[in-house]
Each structure stands twice: as C-alpha cells, then as structure tokens.
Amino acid sequence: MNSPAPSTRELVLVGAGHTNLHVVREWRTRPLPGVQLTLISPFGRATYSGMLPGTLAGLYQPDEMQIDLQRLTAGTGIRLIVAEATGLQPDARLITFADRDPVRFDVCSVGIGSVPGQREIWQSSSRVLSIKPMTTFLPRLDAIMALHEGAVDPLRCIVVGSGAAGTEVTFCLDHWLHSRGIAHRLTLIDGHAEILPGYVPAFVRTARRLMSARGVEVRLSQRVEAISETARLQSTVPKTVAPPSVQVRLSEGTTLFADLVIWATSATPPAVLDHFQLPKTDDGFLAVRATLQTTADAPVFVVGDTAGFVDQRLPKAGVYAVREGPILWQNLQNLLAGRPLVEYHPQRGFLSLLATGDRQAILQYKGWSLHGAWVWKLKDYIDRKFMRLFEAGRVRLG
C-alpha cells in the first residue's frame, strides 16, 4: 500500500530585499523537498540600493541596479506574488493583502526594509521625493523634473537627511544636474550638528570639502518642520507658466523655497508593520533574537532593516542584511527539520564606500578614510560583483 505523500509545507518570503533574495538564490540550485517557496514583493523588480546613487548620477543604466523577479524565479518552482503584504497574523499563520486572498505559511521570513522618518511631513507633497520605495525613485524624480521643464530659474533642490544615503544622493544629484546642464541650487539639511553622524572625522571632512567645492549649501542643527505647497515666486525673467513649488519651514524659523525635496532621513519602520502582530522594539521594528527569529513563539524570521535585535542595536545597513542571508537560509532549513537554530553574529564595523557622482568615491575602514577614482573603481567592482550573483534575474540591456 502506498503511504500518503507528506503534505507540502509553505515557506513564504515577504519582501525581496538582500536577505530574502539570498534564499531565492540558494533555492534555485538546492530547493527543499516537500516545501513550496513563495516570494511576495510589491514590485516585479527589486532595486539594489548600493547602485541607486550611481544610477542617479548617470553612471549606470537604471536596469543595471534592478533584479527582475519574474526572471529570477522562472522555472524554479518559486511562486512569485507581486503585491504588497499589509499584515501578518502569527496565530492563523497568514500574510494578508489589501486586494487579494491571504497567503498561508508554515514558516515565513519578513524583510520589507525601512522607510525615511516623519512620513507626516513628506507624504502628501507633490515636490517631495522619498528615497523609498527605491524601485520607483527615478520615475518619480523624472515626473518632478518634467514639471520644471522650460522654467528659467535655477532648480532649487533640498536634500533632507545627511546620513550616508542623503549625502551620497546629494553628490550624485549635483553631478547629474551639472551633466545635463541644469542650473540649480542645492541645499543639504540635517538636525544633527554635523553631516554623516557616526562616521570618522576624516571621512566627514572630505565630504564637507567636496560639498563646499561644488557650492552645496549645508544647513545643520535644523529640522524640517513642515512643507507646504506654494506658487513659485515670480522670476525676474518673464515666463509663461510658473510651476508650483514648496515652502520648507525649518525649526529655527527660516523658510526655504524648493522645486524638489529629496527626503532621506534615518530609517524608521514601514507603517504597515502596525498590522504585523509581532513584538516590536522601542523604535518600532520587529523584535528578534540573535537567531533572526521573532521573540514571539512563532515560526517567523525577520531580517535586514526590518529586524530589531533585542540584545544589540545595529545600524540599518545593507551589509548586515547581506550577511544575514546564509544564517536565514540555514535557520529556515533547521526550523523545518526541527533542528536547533544558529545565531547571527554581526561583524564589528564594515567598509563604507560613498559615491561622489563623478567616478570618485570616499572610503572609510577601521578609522581610516581615503578618497579618489580608485575608491570608485573598488565600489563599482563590489557592486557589480554583488549584482552578478543575481545574473539569472538581471534585466537584459537592450
């Protein structure tokens, strides 16, 4: 007599970020027998943040920073669901959506990244561009630039947030505007007393020197308190249609006018996590142990920026998300097989590389900082090498 086939277990990855994509990559060559893998992503493409500033600067084609998830999962048995997860019910073991049936899981990994803070300020303004979602960043930028087309005054740009992402975007935006001959004024604003908080002084000094050489205004110890729509002030040169712009009110009382505001403040939890019924850390991320498993008694792992480790606080950086990949893959298998989980031990410090948009970059490693064209070559090499891991999902360049 034939014994009944063991029922298929459902392994669900929510979010196509660095860590979950490691699992997809492993699955392509070593699928787990008796397990159905499902990948959930709001977009059919995943964007590699390391190459977003370089793409903004015009150093890469947009497709070069994208992984085509359809292509990556084709022929692998992986079920791809292109939809935004809106909730997680650990008791019912369900991932919920706004406009489709829930997906059941036996084991799940949540890695939906983070978003810039103070959503209430930036979310409803036509001229404000949040750095997330990264996948739609460039089309959204193009839409704002189209509003400015034909304008005679210099484009007034503000970048809010001077962490690594905001600073890198400032350099790359400046380079892109220069290379297209678009006259502009660029201001970087941060509530901290210095840019690049947490970086070594030599690194910060280099970035400041390059900004001042390019005429970027840096306003520190000031927070953006409100952004409101306004009619653009009349140019001295006559112009048929004056595009609307925004007023940016700062904590010290000054108001700046801007045609484009890029919002790149520090990483905060995506709003949707309110509906993920799992324990959270004080700062609102999903609380995990060193094994990457939720602190709740549930078969759920949380990875990358979305994870809040209860025993330590890690910066929100892709290098951690990448290094968590092999641990997640191991622990998914361990949990499914009833074996003990292994722990993730983050490295102390890491190589930081910041593109300045002009085929140069600044490096920080163990207290050292260097700047030059060879640093950009190193960054370019590392980023391209990372993307080659997903060759099967690379968008074919025309």
Ligand X SMILES: Cc1cc2nc3c(=O)[nH]c(=O)nc-3n(C[C@H](O)[C@H](O)[C@H](O)COP(=O)(O)OP(=O)(O)OC[C@H]3O[C@@H](n4cnc5c(N)ncnc54)[C@H](O)[C@@H]3O)c2cc1C
Considering only residues 150-169, where is the footprint of ligand X by CB under 6 A?
165, 168-169
Location of structure tokens 């739609």: 136
CB atoms within 10 A of CB 155: 19
- Cα–Cα distance for residue pair 203/73, rounded to 1 Å: 40
Q: Which of 68, 305, 358, 380 binds ligand X (CB under 6 A)?
A: 305
- Cα–Cα distance for residue pair 5/146, rounded to 1 Å: 58
By the rule CB under 6 A, 308 interacts with ligand X: no
Q: Which of 22, 23, 49, 177 binds ligand X (CB under 6 A)?
A: 49
By the rule CB under 6 A, 188 interacts with ligand X: no
Q: Which of 40, 260, 261, 362 binds ligand X (CB under 6 A)?
A: 40
Q: Which of 54, 161, 270, 393 binds ligand X (CB under 6 A)?
A: 270
Count of chain residues binding ligand X (CB under 6 A):
36
Q: How many C-alpha atoms does 74 have within 13 Å on its Cβ side? A: 12
By the rule CB under 6 A, 41 interacts with ligand X: yes
Q: Is 38 helix (H, G, I), strand (E, B) or coil?
A: strand
16/57 with CB nearer ligand X: 16
151/327 with CB nearer ligand X: 327
Sign of CA dihedral 50, 55, 57, 59: positive
By the rule CB under 6 A, 46 interacts with ligand X: yes
Minimal distance in Å, beta carbon 239 to ligand X?
A: 33
By the rule CB under 6 A, 17 interacts with ligand X: yes
Considering only residues 51-80, where is the footprint of ligand X by CB under 6 A?
52-53
Minimal distance in Å, beta carbon 42 to ligand X?
A: 5
Find residue 143's DSSP bridge partners.
Answer: none
Considering only residues 110-129, where is the footprint of ligand X by CB under 6 A?
111-113
23/40 with CB nearer ligand X: 40
Task: Find out whether 103 and 38 touch, Cβ atoms under 8 Å.
Answer: yes
- Quick one: tokens of 311? 């025993």
Minimal distance in Å, beta carbon 146 to ligand X?
A: 22
Task: Find out whether 232 and 154 touch, Cβ atoms under 8 Å.
Answer: no
- Relative orientation angle of helices 318-337 and 18-29, to the nearest 10 degrees: 50
- The window from 105-113, 191-199, 278-286, 358-366 that contacts ligand X (CB under 6 A) reads 105-113
Minimal distance in Å, beta carbon 19 to ligand X?
A: 5
By the rule CB under 6 A, 13 interacts with ligand X: no
- Cα–Cα distance for residue pair 358/81, rounded to 1 Å: 38
Location of structure tokens 């084991």: 107
H/E segment holding residue 147: helix 137-148
| 105-134 exposure pattern, b = at least 16 Cβ within 10 A, e = fewer | bbbbbbbbbbbbbbeebbeebebbbbbbeb
Q: Which of 10, 13, 15, 26 binds ligand X (CB under 6 A)?
A: 15
110/151 with CB nearer ligand X: 110
Minimal distance in Å, beta carbon 45 to ligand X?
A: 8
User: Which amino acid, residue 332?
Assistant: L
Q: Which residues in this chain contact ligand X in the complex, by CB under 6 A?
A: 14-19, 40-43, 46, 49-50, 52-53, 84-85, 111-113, 131, 133, 135, 165, 168-169, 270, 272, 304-306, 316-319, 321
